[in-house]
Amino acid sequence: MTKEVLTEGKPKTPPPPPKSRALAPTVIAIVVSVLALMGALALRAASRTNQVSLSSQPRAVTVVEGKGTTFREERRYVGVVHPWVEANVGPQLVSGFVATVLVRPGDRVRQGDVLATLDCRSASSGSESVASQARSLEERQRAFAGEAARLENLVGGGYVSANEVELKRSQAAANQASLDALKAQLRNKSLEVSDCTLRAPFDGEVSARLADPGSFVRPGGTVVTVVDRHLYRVAIDIPEVDVTLVPVGTSAEVTLLASAQHLSARVSRRAPAASASTRTLRLELDVSGKDADVPVGTSAEVRFEVGAPLDAVELPLVAAKVRGGKASLFVVAQGVAKKLQVPVLGERGGSLFVQGVAAGTQVVTEGRAALAEGDPVAATLAAPRASAVTSAATPELPREGHP
């Protein structure tokens, strides 16, 4: 009883408040902060948004000024440098083993110099045999001729008959014919013997040695090749449509690719017939060996200027899109882009030559892909570039046989 009285006499402790009520102010503060931050970001983004239409803003482009010049149509071909004459030296009548070869590529030779010899002991012995037979028959012929002459003197005295004289004459004539045949055979054998010694047919240089001692060669085979380079022949093949543009006597600029030499030459000769397979015609230009020193068989680039000079405007190739004989480009006039289609005269050295545009007109080179007719532009003038007309001495390599 005492415990109950004591317990009832003490004051009761109040219960703790709920946890959700304690966190409410913190949550409210966080939400307000986030909303305030989002509002600030939205205002900042709105302030940076461009309210002006992009189509009404000037487009940044790079322009160049068209350069007034003249353009002359040209043709370029790739040809081959040939020697003035070339000879493949070898046996023509006999077969045999090569005994000696006295020259090597690069050696200079004079006409008649011995280049090589063949082992022709068989031809030599055959020649000696025929010579001996010819001498024997010649002695017999001399005896028959003398006997026939003596018999003719005896015919008048009636000592011999005319029939005997005619018989001796016929025998002498037959022996003479046999002797002539042996002499012809001897000359043939002499040619075979001389064919065993190969000599230079003209002054020149040895370009190839195709056989060494011990090799077996046949008639028509080549032991040594000799070329004469005192004059070069630059040969090119032109399409049939260009025949009237480059007649004989036309001046040309020749670039020898092996030595990087630039020479002037004229068309010396032209073939009267076209190739049956390619329908091209062969032209040759003579170049003096005093002006050039280049190996034969190398390439040469030949450039012709044809037609009359025409007034033109020079532009970079990147400034236009070319289709056929027309070029599409954008020009800038009073801050506005204007699209034009103009005729093309030609290309050279990275430049395009057109008509229909005035010299000094600003033509778009960079940024033209996004332009349309009437777009406002902010043009930046590019630095001027070298003219392709003055730098045409070292053009790009053309395709063979075509301009």
Q: What is the pLDDT of residues 111-121, one digit of tens each?
A: 999 999 988 77
With CA atoms as reference, report the closest residue to 259 among 300, 207, 294.
294
Domains contained in the chain, number? 2
| pLDDT tens-digit map of 98-110 | 999 999 999 999 9
* Torsion, CA 170, CA 173, CA 174, CA 175, rounded to 10: 120
How much is the pLDDT for 28? Answer: 80
**Which pair of tokens denotes residue 26?**
């913190």
| pLDDT tens-digit map of 203-238 | 999 999 999 999 999 999 999 999 999 999 999 999
pLDDT range class, residue 271, cuts 50, 70, 90: very high
Distance CA(202)–CA(198), nearest Å, equals 12
| Residue 266 burial by Cβ neighbours in a 10 Å radius (0-12, 13-18, 19+) | exposed
Asked if residue 161 is part of any domain, the answer here is: yes
Do 125 and 66 share a structural domain?
no
With CA atoms as reference, report the closest residue to 152 among 163, 141, 143.
163
**Which pair of tokens denotes residue 359?**
């010299």
Distance CA(102)–CA(8), nearest Å, equals 146
The average confidence (pLDDT) of the chain is: 81
Asked if residue 49 is part of any domain, the answer here is: no
Range scoring the smallest mean pLDDT among 75-79, 171-175, 298-302: 171-175
Asked if residue 150 is part of any domain, the answer here is: yes
**378 neighbors 367 (Cβ within 8 angstroms):** no
Which H or E run contains 129? helix 121-155
The residue among 175, 195, 215 that closes a domain is 195
Asked if residue 180 is part of any domain, the answer here is: yes
Q: What is the CATH number of the domain that holds 354?
A: 2.40.420.20
Asked if residue 258 is part of any domain, the answer here is: no
**312 neighbors 359 (Cβ within 8 angstroms):** no
**Rounded average pLDDT over 35-43:** 81
- How does strand 326-333 pair with strand 336-348? antiparallel
3-state percent breakdown (helix, strand, coil) of the chain, nearest 5: 30, 35, 35
The residue among 195, 230, 248 that closes a domain is 195
Distance CA(374)–CA(371), nearest Å, equals 9
**41 neighbors 269 (Cβ within 8 angstroms):** no
Range scoring the smallest mean pLDDT among 28-42, 185-199, 216-230, 312-326: 185-199
Q: 340: which strand partners?
A: 329
Query: 75: how many CB neighbours lie within 10 A of its CB?
Result: 21
Asked if residue 239 is part of any domain, the answer here is: no
Asked if residue 131 is part of any domain, the answer here is: yes
Asked if residue 137 is part of any domain, the answer here is: yes
The gap from C-alpha 4 to its chain's centroid, in whole angstroms, comes to 126
The residue among 157, 172, 195 that closes a domain is 195
**204 neighbors 99 (Cβ within 8 angstroms):** no
What share of the chain in percent tops pLDDT 90? 40
Global pTM?
0.62
pLDDT at 249 over 90: yes
**114 neighbors 240 (Cβ within 8 angstroms):** no
* Parent domain of 316: 60-71+308-381
Termini Cα distance of the chain = 132
Q: Which residues touch 102 (CB under 8 Å, ≥6 apart)? A: 114, 115, 116
* Torsion, CA 72, CA 73, CA 76, CA 82, rounded to 10: -70
pLDDT at 1 over 60: no
